[in-house]
Amino acid sequence: MGLSGFRAELRYERNAMKKTVALGWLVAMVGLGSSPATSSAASSAADARPNVVVILADDMGFSDLGSYGGEIETPILDGLAANGLRFTQFYNTGRCWPSRAAFLTGYYAQQVNRDPAKRRPEWATLLPELLRTSGYRTYHSGKWHVDGPVLAGGFERSYLVTDHDRNFNPREHFVDDRPVPLPKAEDHYYSTKAIAEHGVSWLAEHEKAHKDEPFFLYIAFTAPHFPLQAPAEDVARYRDRYQVGWDVIRDRRWNRIKQLGIVDGALPAYDPKTLPGWNLSEEELHARIGPGETGVVGPWDALTDEQKRFQTAKMAVHAAMVDRMDRGIGLVVDRLKAMGAFENTLILFMSDNGASAEQMIRGDGHDPKAEPGAARSFLGLGPGWATVSNTPFRLYKVWNHEGGISTPLIAHWPKGIAARGELRRTPGHLVDLAPTIFELARITPPDSYHGEPRPPLPGRSLVPAFAHDVTVPHDFLFFKHEGNRALRAGDWKIVSNGPAGAWELYNLAVDRTETHNLAADQPDRLKALVAIWERQDREYQTQGATGKR
């Protein structure tokens, strides 16, 4: 194809995609009979700028929460969902640091040179920097995984955990970017507890010294990321819950998800062949962890009795980590209520990627004699239970199939969101959070920063969806990580495993679980979408390479 023909095809693709999005928008509008330009959220924001609390889980699957179909006890988050909104088609990037870059900059990670992880261009300022200059107080607690110090990123107070391999005895952690003494045994330190308590302390400090100013609090838990470690009393509450095995638990979750109206379709078969290339082999897992470990997913009844016991214990620890995180969020909610800030605080909760099939040993190694979940153990969830956590979607963290990039999104704001317990079906992405917060905070993002021009933000404000179940229109949503690739335009999605993998095509309107590949049936549509992905990939790489820090 000549250059002129290629350009003509791209013009056709742009028009076709715009029509596809516009059609979905029109259908939503006809069904609702309302305008996306008006919302109770927007009118409430005109009265007083809301406080914002963003809570990010680490490696939590789509269906781990009770309000998204899971059996883990998460009453705090379920309560926020029951009195707010649940988004059913919200996306992260499939990995921890690109997701944090997308949320904190408002750009795809490739646009800001953060996937692969490098330093941001000068123009790629962070969300808290802009909020701080507009009168917000800014606080952070937990994981960072962004280039540069936390305070240099715009936060005024920070509790930072950089040791992600030890939940009971970190080798390093920081307050305001300065190292603090390591915890002692009598401190009963646990990372989730510490992250929540520091968030609460920043709120108490704010109430005392800055009560009349709005605040932005970012709480980034390290749970339930490996190593699977949790207090023994928490694990005990789930010890017997998973003896029925992952086949039964997955089916139960799937039935609840359909009953809740979150996702419908067909439940995909297990995928025993797609695993992280850096995982320990089956032989290494047996040698270094024990005969109860397994690195493959398949029917539960194919496991030995010893494997069933061990796998049951692992999932109990994962559940305990999610449970303890929920209780930590409860401390934050209680503090917001006590300081009279709960009603005008927008709380957003999500996960940085899907559940992980990774199985490796880091930190202090693994003691096979240690109880699963104890400080001397180092276990990963593995593909069996990760498949359950990501129910009903395919694959895991790192991949761009729905299991890797789909996240719950709970939005709760009593003063600005009138809906209670409703679902929002609009597709959205972490890059949408910055435009949403900017709108509510009445901030116009700068066209340049540090003397360098900034590209337009790729995301769209979700504020219209706070009032009604409307579609927030995007030309497309872009994904790329570890060579895995995807693009969603309207209800159509292309996805491939690895740079040499064949492109697959799905109509997510009827096949959200990606069970019917239409690539061979619709080659023209596939070609058009691939051309868009390739164009955006080149453009984003060029943007990420600009500027120096």
Rounded to whole angstroms, the Cα distance separating 410 from 423 reads 10
Around Cβ 342, how many Cβ atoms within 10 Å? 19
Listed in order, strand segments (DSSP E) in 105-166 are 137-142, 157-161
Note if 516 is an active site residue: no
Rounded to whole angstroms, the Cα distance separating 155 from 175 reads 12
Q: Which of 96, 140, 164, 366 is catalytic?
A: 96
Strand pairing report for 422-424 and 178-179: unpaired
Rounded to whole angstroms, the Cα distance separating 544 from 126 reads 15
Rounded to whole angstroms, the Cα distance separating 100 from 80 reads 23
Q: Which of 140, 145, 173, 429 is catalytic?
A: 145
* Cβ atoms of 528 and 522 closer than 8 Å: no
Cα-based distances in Å from 455 to 131, 341, 449: 19, 35, 11
Q: Helix, strand, or coil here: 394?
A: coil
Give the sign of the dihedral formed by CA 103, CA 104, CA 107, CA 111: negative
Closest CA to 386 of 275, 278, 511, 476: 275
CA 404 from centre of chain: 9
Note if 210 is an active site residue: no
Catalytic annotation, residues: 96, 145
